[in-house]
Amino acid sequence: MDSINTLFLLTGSLIALSVVASRLSSLFGLPLLVIFLALGMLAGEDGILGIEFDSYGLAFIIGHLALAMILLDGGLRTRLKTFRVGLKPALSLATLGVFITSGIVGVFATWLFDLTLVQGLLVGAIVGSTDAAAVFSMLRGQGVNLNERVGATLEIESGTNDPMAIFLTITLVEILTGDVGSPADTLWLFFQQFALGLAIGIGGGWLSGKLLRWLDLAPGLYSLLALALGFCVFGLTSALGGSGFLAIYLAGLMIGNQPGRHLSFILPVHDGLAWLSQIGLFLVLGMLVTPTEMIDYALPGALLAIVLIFVARPLAVVLAIKPMFSFRWKEVWFISWVGLRGAVPIVLAIFPVVGGVENAALYFNVAFFVVLMSLMTQGTTLSLVASWLRVTVPWRVEPDRRGPLGVLPENDYEMFIYRVDNEALEDAPIRLLRFPSGALISALFRKHAMLHPKGSTRLRLGDMLCVIGRPGDLPALNRLFNGDARLKRERAFFGTFTLDGEAMMADVASAYGLTLSPGERDITLGEFVSLRVGGHPVIGDDIGWHGIQWVVSDMEGHRVTKVGLRLYH
């Protein structure tokens, strides 16, 4: 009984400390995952609590469960519209990019640790993929708002590149243990992993989404059923020889992109589950490592991390996306820098231990040190590098809070809560607001008192408004409540003047005294900018033309609807 009580006490204390310690991330700029790892190491054998934890098998199981939940949450939050510009380059990075990164690091590891080529390549395969948990938590935690092309590519890559690294790791472990089949068998395994992962993930996720929309459950059961269905997809795919990690990510993607009231109950719970998974996984991995043993790998591990961060990842990104896709060099360099390593390499480093590979401790300790270096160097500088390379766009106004009313099964009405920060709205009567026709103000809160708004009611700065509308009303509502400070930042980025994307280039050239080629006179400004940026434009794209920067400031689908004019700076 005492051991059970001790387990509860230690587990609760470590999780609570991890949550409280997360404040250090915002105060000192430390990556959250490093904090979780450090707490695990402090609780471990060489730490303050001295917990002796050396069960690689248990850590292997915990790692799979945690990564499955993290990837499911990542898929739930990924919007299919991001695939417009991010799918193809992300898949290239997730396959060719991982292969190139693993090869370069593997060859260097062969020389550095005096290994055979296969052993060195196994080191490269283990640290070859970026980690969804690391990427998602870092970008959200530092408040970085990347342009859609870069953000979508990184988001999709980090959710889909694990299968390639797992395939390479398993294949190399089998070669070292003598269990590998013929080259044809290896190719078949590769095809099987990805084909089954795609088919079962998309099919199972689509059916799961339909079931969640159709069932009428208690609110707390939707998230439980979504998790159970995701685990079923993961287990079925893995049992048949496919990639369970790819399948559960795609299942989350399919569920999250089928609108309905179920999502409002699923997303908040899964956000908490993803955090719990990250905390639990990194605490376990931190306890599993022995810092005194890791000291011997510090110098070679640091050299390997330097080669990975500054040579292998940038070269892989350049070769995988630059020749085939319209990425600017500043975007390529930023994607190179965001090759964060997290829990996945450490979990993959357990494969050689479980498989009985000779000198398995080397793989685990090297992977752990490389992850630590990656988080400390790349993770702490994400926002600085993003600003320096100018791959960010200003945050747009969003409601302080929002939630569906549960009135309609599709395109439901929602409650949007806005704070009045726009000085232009001070003393403005409600009847004069340019409100979307389908939206209305249901309540107004002023100094903690609720007022019943009428057309003659005048707004005051600091008022809280409860607006009922539909998601399609958000662009107009966001523009209406745009605060002055945010408006100034947007104007500094997009320019003081904005032109309609449907304006004909002949008219624009005539108004501003610009010179056009004959073929450019009969196209719109939006089409002109799209052609100049190489197709697939995103908000924030700019071109220099006639001493002015022309900036994409708004889009509808693939069409540029607004273009800002900004002087060079």
Three-state SS string over 8-65 comes to HHHHHHHHHHHHHHCHHHHHHCCCHHHHHHHHHHHHCCCCCCCCCCCCHHHHHHHHHH
Residue 13 to residue 288: CA distance in whole angstroms: 18
Q: Which amino acid is at 458?
A: R
- What is the average pLDDT across 331-357? 85
- What is the average pLDDT across 166-187? 79
- Which residue spans of the chain are classified as CATH 3.30.70.1450? 401-481
Residue 335: alpha-carbon gap to chain centroid: 12
pLDDT of residue 375: 84
Q: Phi, psi at residue 556, to the nearest 5°?
A: -130, 105
> What contacts 140, CB < 8 A, 6 or more positions away?
none
Instruction: Enter the pTM of the model.
Output: 0.81
Residue 225 to residue 218: CA distance in whole angstroms: 11
pLDDT category at 132 given cuts 50, 70, 90 is low
Closest to 31 in 3D by CA, of 282, 407, 293: 282
Residue 279 to residue 206: CA distance in whole angstroms: 30
Mean pLDDT of the chain: 83
pLDDT tens-place string over residues 360-403: 888 888 888 888 888 888 878 888 888 888 888 877 777 888 87
Residue 90 to residue 96: CA distance in whole angstroms: 10
- Which residue spans of the chain are classified as CATH 1.20.1530.20? 54-389
pLDDT tens-place string over residues 498-511: 888 888 888 888 88
Residue 457 or residue 482, greater confidence = 457
pLDDT tens-place string over residues 547-556: 778 888 888 8
pLDDT category at 137 given cuts 50, 70, 90 is low
Q: Which residue has the tokens 């043993």?
A: 293
Residue 274 to residue 160: CA distance in whole angstroms: 17
Closest to 18 in 3D by CA, of 310, 277, 383: 277
Residue 281 has pLDDT above 80, yes or no: yes
Residue 36 has pLDDT above 60, yes or no: yes
- Which residue spans of the chain are classified as CATH 3.30.465.10? 495-567
Options 1.20.1530.20, 3.30.300.30, 3.40.50.300, 3.30.450.40; which CATH number does 54-389 get?
1.20.1530.20
Describe the chain by its helix, strand, coil percentages, rounded to 5: 65, 10, 25
Report CA dihedral (450, 451, 452, 456) to the nearest 10 degrees. -160
> What contacts 397, CB < 8 A, 6 or more positions away?
478, 479, 481, 482, 483, 486
pLDDT of residue 133: 61
Q: Which residue has the tokens 């350049």?
A: 318
Give the total residue count for the chain: 569
CATH architecture of residue range(s) 495-567 = 2-Layer Sandwich (3.30)
pLDDT of residue 487: 65
- Report the chain's C-alpha Rg in angstroms: 26
Q: Evaluate whether 459 touches 420 at the Cβ level (below 8 Å).
A: yes
Whole-angstrom distance between the N-terminal and C-terminal Cα of the chain?
Answer: 68
Closest to 220 in 3D by CA, of 256, 258, 270: 270
Q: CATH topology for 401-481?
A: Alpha-Beta Plaits (3.30.70)
| Rounded percentage of the chain residues whose pLDDT exceeds 90 | 17
pLDDT category at 136 given cuts 50, 70, 90 is low
Residue 8: alpha-carbon gap to chain centroid: 32
Closest to 391 in 3D by CA, of 378, 382, 400: 382
Report CA dihedral (193, 168, 253, 276) to the nearest 10 degrees. 120
Q: Phi, psi at residue 328, to the nearest 5°?
A: -80, 160
Residue 160 to residue 242: CA distance in whole angstroms: 13
